[in-house]
């Protein structure tokens, strides 16, 4: 049975909805094909070239074009790699490395990672900040915050303060953060390649529930951002209601502007129209990544700036 038929059988409503996005055999096939293992070298613990040389003695590494520290690696279980236990490398999906690259944090900045667990992006941010400055790493669920703390410890992150607030709480810190990452909770359609249950359990009402949470969070993230600061909004889903709709909402409600992202990554066209809704042409500057574009998880990334003197 082909991928298309398997998806249609498991969840007909899912198939019907997303066939309007892209309806090629390749799209359906990559949506459920197992993921390639990828890693990020953690330069907080050792120089990039030293770790890469060591790994190359045992494994085949293929550089990920859009992140200098990222590699595809031919290993089925990272637990077998001693460097992983030591925190010299971290298992991280290739497209999920893009938001932190786009955020572009620098040493001595104050950064908010609003939905941080399990912490792979937080560790990547700390790496770009060279462990200088401060990251507020937030996750509302204490159980997830514990995993986040464990991972940050393993990576040698020294500049994070972990909080367990509802992300909307940060709206009160108006114009405070140099950069904010909102890697939003979402329907995780892009992660079916990792866990089949995301397909089985997918429901449109959940997408709408997530959309409402995302709108609340993106507004709070923007409020907390300093004028001149950068907000990156990302999800691992393909639904326009959780992606273009949410960013369009922010553009309509505030002075927010979108900036073009310049990375060597293949993308699909962002949607400017969906189910009778039309979105700002500015959304063309966002990255919409389908699994078949680069053989990765699906991802959506928008780089948003708050104008100087703007609200």
Backbone angles phi, psi at 199, to 5 degrees: -80, -45
State how far the Cα of 97 lies from the Cα of 87, in Å rounded to an integer: 17
Q: Is 236 a catalytic residue?
A: yes
Tell me the DSSP string of 268-302: BPPPSEETTEE--GGGGGSEEE-HHHHTS--EEEE
Dmax over CA atoms of the chain, in Å, equals: 57
Tell me the DSSP string of 294-308: HTS--EEEEEEEPPT
Does residue 163 contact residue 217 with C-beta atoms inside 8 Å? no
Which one of the listed residues 112, 180, 236, 301 is annotated catalytic?
A: 236
300 token code pair: 């959506």
Q: Active-site residue numbers?
A: 236
């Amino acid at each position: 049975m082909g991928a298309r038929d398997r998806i249609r059988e498991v969840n007909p409503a899912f198939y019907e909805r997303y066939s309007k996005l892209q309806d090629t055999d390749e799209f359906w096939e990559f949506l459920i094909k197992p993921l390639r293992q990828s890693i990020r070298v953690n330069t907080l613990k050792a120089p990039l070239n030293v770790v890469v040389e060591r790994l190359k003695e045992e494994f085949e590494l293929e550089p990920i074009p859009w992140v200098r520290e990222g590699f595809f690696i031919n290993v089925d279980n990272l637990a077998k790699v001693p460097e992983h236990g030591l925190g010299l490398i971290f298992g991280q999906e290739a497209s999920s490395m893009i938001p932190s690259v786009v955020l572009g944090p620098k040493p001595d900045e104050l950064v908010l990672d609003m939905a941080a667990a399990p912490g792979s992006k937080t560790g990547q941010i700390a790496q770009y900040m060279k462990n200088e400055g401060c990251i507020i790493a937030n996750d509302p669920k204490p159980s997830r915050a514990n995993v986040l703390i464990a991972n940050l410890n393993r990576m040698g992150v020294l500049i994070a303060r972990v909080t367990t607030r509802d992300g909307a709480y940060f709206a009160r810190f108006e114009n405070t953060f140099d950069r904010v990452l909102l890697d939003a909770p979402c329907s995780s359609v892009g992660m079916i390649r990792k866990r089949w249950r995301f397909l089985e359990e997918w429901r449109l009402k959940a997408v709408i529930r997530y959309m409402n949470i995302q709108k609340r969070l993106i507004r709070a993230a923007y409020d907390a951002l300093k004028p001149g600061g950068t907000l990156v909004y990302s999800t691992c889903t393909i639904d326009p209601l959780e992606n273009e709709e949410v960013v369009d909402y922010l553009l309509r409600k505030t002075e927010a502007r979108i900036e073009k992202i310049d990375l060597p990554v293949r993308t699909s066209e962002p949607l400017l129209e969906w189910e009778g809704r039309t979105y700002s042409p500015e959304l063309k500057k966002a990255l919409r990544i389908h699994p078949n574009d680069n053989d990765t998880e699906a991802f959506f990334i928008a780089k948003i700036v708050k104008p100087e003197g703007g609200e």
